[in-house]
Amino acid sequence: MKTKGMGIALLSAAALLGAAAAQAELPWTYGEIGYAMTDGIEDGETTAGYLEASIGFADMWHASLSYTDGTSEQGPGNPDVDFDGYQLIVGAHPQLTPNTQLVGDLTYFDYDQDEDGAEGFSSGTDGFGVGLGLRHSITDKVEVNGKVWYVMGDQDGSFFSASSTDYNDTTFEFGGRYNWMPQLSTGVTVTLNGAPGGSYYYSYGSDSILFDVRWSFLGELSK
User: When comparing pLDDT for 23 and 143, which is higher?
Assistant: 143
Mean pLDDT of the chain: 80
| Parent domain of 132 | 2-222
CA distance 170 to 198: 9
Backbone dihedral angles phi then psi of residue 114, each to the nearest 5 degrees = -135, 130
Under the banding of pLDDT at 50, 70 and 90, the label for residue 12 is: very low
How many angstroms separate the CA atoms of 73 and 18, rounded?
48
**What pLDDT score was predicted for residue 156?**
73
Q: How crowded is residue 2: how many other Cβ atoms within 10 Å of its Cβ?
A: 6
User: Residue 97 is which amino acid?
Assistant: T
pTM reported for the whole predicted model = 0.81
CATH number of the domain at 200, please: 2.40.160.20
Nearest by Cα to 201 from 105, 119, 82: 82
Q: Which residue has the higher pLDDT, 103 or 194?
A: 103
100-112 confidence digits (pLDDT tens): 999 999 999 998 8
Total structural domains within the chain: 1
Each residue's pLDDT tens digit, 25-61:
799 999 999 998 887 655 667 889 999 999 999 999 9
